[in-house]
Amino acid sequence: MSTVNLNYGKLKDSYLFAKIAERVNAYSQMYPEKKILRLGIGDVTQPLCPSVIEALHEAVEDQSRAESFHGYMPECGYGPLRSAIAEYYRRRNVELNSHEVFISSGASDELGDLLHLFDRNLDAVLLEPAYPAYADANIMEGRTIHFIETSEINGFTPEPPAEALTALIYICSPNNPTGAVFSKERLKQWVDYANRTGSVILFDAAYEAFITEDDIPGSIFEIDGARTCAIEISSLSKTAGFTGTRCGYTVIPRELVRDGSSLNKMWIRNRTTRTNGVSYILQ
């Protein structure tokens, strides 16, 4: 019997971005005068915008006075913020109950944490190239991964596979790193595939704020049938200068049921057991 999770041994030596950072550091120490164009994970270059700064100061002030102080936050998120996000979806004609919106410590953290809901024998489907944490987080749990290559031929938004796989399917649109966006028609094919096979789509909508066209889906829940097969992970980072502040959200519809279990209820149970919520100041 093993003590540690031996799946970690299946990972490459180090996470891609950690490796890049290490090499960049070594190079810049050897050649301090050289200017380096960083095309790796990137970082934010602009400070937070004035309205965010003002709101953060106000929240800190709230915490300084007994009458406005908030202690532990509800584990699934602060009610007014959950409602505000449900309201934000209405502009796309997506109706959500605020209890389907969960406040997270950001999309990256959530993409790993959500895997806890799924059986470790469930396969994963990844459209490559993809955010490298998708693969690594699944390798660390011992899952088999099916990679589907995307390219100019399929506009980087491929059709579902011919084979009927029951799997965790990752779709990121607008895509990191290609920038490709799924049309409603193409996304509908994946939703139908997931419903037919009992798969669950993890829809990474972190870059949703960059969509300006009305006919491009900014949420998978604009597609009929998505409420029975999809979880949407999103971010507050990419809109108004909030990156690195570590607050995002996840939508798990109440109709999403597998093996007789409601994934919405399972996530409530996970959050109430495993976290004490996101800091009031950030929410």
> What amino acid is encoded at 69 in this protein?
F
CA separation for the pair 135, 256 (Å, rounded): 24
23 lies in the binding site for a second copy (CB under 8 A): no
User: What x-and-dash track marks residues 218-247 binding a second copy by CB under 8 A?
Assistant: -------------------------xxxx-
Q: Which stretch binds a second copy (CB under 8 A): 50-58, 94-102, 148-156, 201-209?
A: 50-58
Least Cβ distance, residue 147 to a second copy (angstroms): 18
User: What x-and-dash track marks residues 104-143 binding a second copy by CB under 8 A?
Assistant: -xx-xx-xxx--xxxxxxx----------x--xx--x---
46 lies in the binding site for a second copy (CB under 8 A): yes
CA separation for the pair 125, 204 (Å, rounded): 14
CA separation for the pair 177, 204 (Å, rounded): 12
Binding to a second copy in span 51-70, by CB under 8 A:
53, 56-57, 60-61, 63-66, 69-70
- b (16+ CB within 10 A) / e for 76-98: bbbeebbbebbeebeeeebebeb
Question: Of 236, 127, 103, which Cα lies nearest the Cα of 178?
Answer: 127
Q: Give the Å distances, CA to CA, from 155 to 152, 211, 249.
A: 5, 17, 28
5 lies in the binding site for a second copy (CB under 8 A): yes
146 lies in the binding site for a second copy (CB under 8 A): no
282 lies in the binding site for a second copy (CB under 8 A): yes
Binding to a second copy in span 161-220, by CB under 8 A:
166, 198, 200
